[in-house]
Amino acid sequence: MSVFAPATPFADFIYRHFRSVHALKLGLALLVAVTINAIWAPPHFIWSMVTIVVIMMSLPQVGGAIEKSLQRAIGTCLGSAYGVMLVATVDSYWLIMSLLILAVSLICFISAGRYSYAYLVSGFTIIIVVGDANHDTSEALWRTANILSGCVIAILVSLFIFPIKAKQDWRSQLTHAIDNMAEVLAQHLKAPANHDLDFRAKLEAAMKAVLTQKKLFFSLEWESKTLKKHKVLLSQLANKQVRLITLLELLPLTRWQEEDKDAYLQINAVASELAFYLQQLAEFVAGKAQQLPTLPECLEQELQHRLQLSLASATIVASTTDLDAAATDGEVPQGFALTGYSWLIYQLAIAVEALYKDIAIIDIAYHKRPASQITPNKTA
């Protein structure tokens, strides 16, 4: 099923109440740990509960919980193995501590990037296991076992009890960003000349949605093989949204005189189609449309031609003398203003088509079509 397919009522309910569901899942995971402790009472079982809270507290999505659990498990095993080896084979207190400091310093040096949490866990696990170097490894082994059991409980609860999917959150954030951009463009085109509408709140909301999408990339890889294969495309899609937001930020800065109104209305008639395409794209991403909306063939070339025709009907300052005179008077030449505005609309068209293309690639990949068919839908 495509990531853009309509969400089931159950999945939609979970996403709309994900805070309450997340709190409930954390409580259930801790209840499982408490029950195990009540039945078997293993030593140092508090580490299992600590692990559950650390993993699940900040990562409600299934993919995030799995990745953090695996990183914590790997870091714990490596740190514990090194610490036990030191305690079991080295008798000198200062030699043990020297090797501990050396290992932790090396981990600090190489710790970076996606697996930085595993390095962090490995470092403090070594310190916990070695302790005061009393050569008692049983405590270290029990702590390791309890941490691993906490990872298993966190993964199982995240997977099988009201799973909160990162895919749903990513799609919602993508919809939110596109919808805000479409609304900004539509409001600008309907506003009078030299309007003072403030679009910052909507554009900031769109940018925040893009940043949230980026934070979900690692979780998406664990939840979807298809999205994992297209992780570079996800990053490109986020960057193209940023570019579109940047172009939309320039719209309120455009100004024209009343006598230029007719020429700008012709350009805005072209731009209004872009707002319509963006709104259709938001509805598809949200699952409200079954198929990706179609774009005209060679959209940017067609718009470029129509913009040129609209400019031809306007008065263009054609001589250097006129340009110098306008500059001397402190006025912006009409031809320059119209040409710059049409260029902005043209760049918006290119950005919109780029969004369509990336989303089409992701949607087609879910249907396992040949790579040759991975192109955005367009009308003939």
Question: Which pair of structure tokens corresponds to residue 357?
Answer: 């293309």
CB 370 within 8 A of CB 361: no
Q: What are phi and psi of 144, to 5 degrees?
A: -60, -45
pLDDT digits (tens, 9 = 90+) for 287-340: 998 888 888 766 666 666 666 666 665 544 433 434 444 444 444 444 545 667
Structure confidence at residue 58 as a pLDDT band (50, 70, 90): confident
Give the number of other CB atoms < 10 A from CB of residue 115. Answer: 16
pLDDT digits (tens, 9 = 90+) for 182-227: 999 999 888 876 677 889 999 999 999 999 999 999 899 999 899 9
Please name the helix (run of DSSP H) or strand (run of DSSP E) that holds residue 109, with its range, or none: helix 93-110
What pLDDT score was predicted for residue 259? 64
What pLDDT score was predicted for residue 128? 82
Rg (CA), the chain: 29
Cα 230-234-238 angle, rounded to 5 deg: 165
